[in-house]
Structure 1
Amino acid sequence: MRADAARNLSTVLRTGARLLAEDPSTSVAAIANAAGVDRTTVHRRFASREALLTAVFQAKLDSAEQVLDEARLTEAPVPVALHRYAEGIIPVSREWPVDTARLMQQDPDAHQRRQGQSERLNDFLQRAVDEGFLRSDVPLEWVRAILDQLVASAAHQCPDLAPPQAADIVVDTFLNGLGKA
């Protein structure tokens, strides 16, 4: 793929993620216009609006997968891995604000991929409990919900915070709010 075509594709996907997060019924024409490309450029690459939506979701899943890999959830000390995860996933949440839940209903492969990512994070949180960083008397589902909300809040409610600063706050709040008494 030519460099300009790759740049256009990246711009279309990121613009699509932003606009679809704001309004899930956004048209391909509106996305193309906001991305600064011809509608035909988008249609040449994506046969339908659903194909564009799938590509946006796949790009978000790719980014999340990279964050999970780089966080080293199974090897790094729990606080370090947690910080790496938060520092990486906050920009992903900002860059790809579109909700993947909708795709999960339509695309079994994407659902399975997202489920695998979720399991990796849940396994890490169980490791944090097992190693004494988190209380064992709190349901893991609750722990996960709190982490997800802290990340979402840092990403979207505090957009001016740089990812390292936002991760500091997320990790401190998470470990001290749920840490062993």
Structure 2
Amino acid sequence: MGRPLRADAERSVRAILEAAERVLAEDPGASMEQIAEAAGVARTTVHRRFTSRQTLIEALAVSAKRQLMEAVEDAHLDTAPPLVALHRVTANTLRIKSVWRFTLGHPLADTPLTAMIWSEINDGALEFLARAQREGLLAPDADLVWVRRVYYALVDEALHGSGADQDPDQVRKNADALATLIVDTLLRGVGLQG
């Protein structure tokens, strides 16, 4: 990897990535010029930082997956009480996924690095579910791979219910209430609360 970016170049890259996510979420076919305009930078600046549309999408993917990993880590899945950790990771995930609607659902955003991050997230989810099961939050006979799939589906439904994306600002504002609904729904199906 090259030398670190200067502070102004780093701000420029961040502005481009944020604008690209917003613009592409509204219009997946948007041009690099439209992204540059939304970022408030020259088209040449976008092309200097990202040599192609695919390079930009891959940079978006890395940024999104890293933020998702940070949100998961912030939930302290290995040390917090399982119910607290489950609620926190759910609310954190909803907040991040509502910001990265385009990138986290785009197949061209998959790279070896993002696949590695996603694999870590998936493995960590199973480790957490195993701990939650050992500590009595989940039924002893629950299939943890199935529980993970159902959990991911519930999160996805909260973000994209009825086939239409929920308003990202509303998701972020209501993340705790949505997390409670998701956790309650999950635990009534596979927990001891059933």
TM-score range, shorter chain: 0.7 to 0.9
In structure 2, the gaps of 5 or more residues are 1-5
The offset of 1:100, in angstroms, is 5.3
Corresponding residue number in structure 2 for 1:120? 124
Corresponding residue number in structure 1 for 2:3? none
The offset of 1:21, in angstroms, is 4.2
RMSD: 2.2
The offset of 1:10, in angstroms, is 2.4
CA distance in 2, matches of 1:146, 1:71: 19
Q: Structure 1 vs Structure 2: percent identity of aligned residues?
A: 35
CA distance in 2, matches of 1:103, 1:146: 24
The offset of 1:121, in angstroms, is 1.3
TM-score of the superposition, structure 1-length normalised? 0.84
Kept after mapping to 1: 8 A contact 2:75/2:89: yes
Kept after mapping to 2: 8 A contact 1:19/1:26: yes
Corresponding residue number in structure 2 for 1:168? 180
Corresponding residue number in structure 2 for 1:81? 85
CA distance in 2, matches of 1:21, 1:137: 40
Post-superposition CA distance 1:126-179 (Å, at most 9, x none): 222222212344432321122112222323445424222222222222222321
2:14 corresponds to 1:10: yes
Aligned residues: 178
Task: Please give the secondary structure, in 2, of the residue aligned with 1:72.
Answer: coil
53-62 vs 112-121, greater mean Cα deviation: 112-121
Corresponding residue number in structure 1 for 2:45? 41
Post-superposition CA distance 1:87-130 (Å, at most 9, x none): 111111011112254333xx223212221121111211222222
93-102 vs 17-26, greater mean Cα deviation: 17-26
CA distance in 1, matches of 2:129, 2:25: 28
TM-score of the superposition, structure 2-length normalised? 0.79
In structure 1, the gaps of 5 or more residues are none
The offset of 1:22, in angstroms, is 4.9
2:103 corresponds to 1:103: no
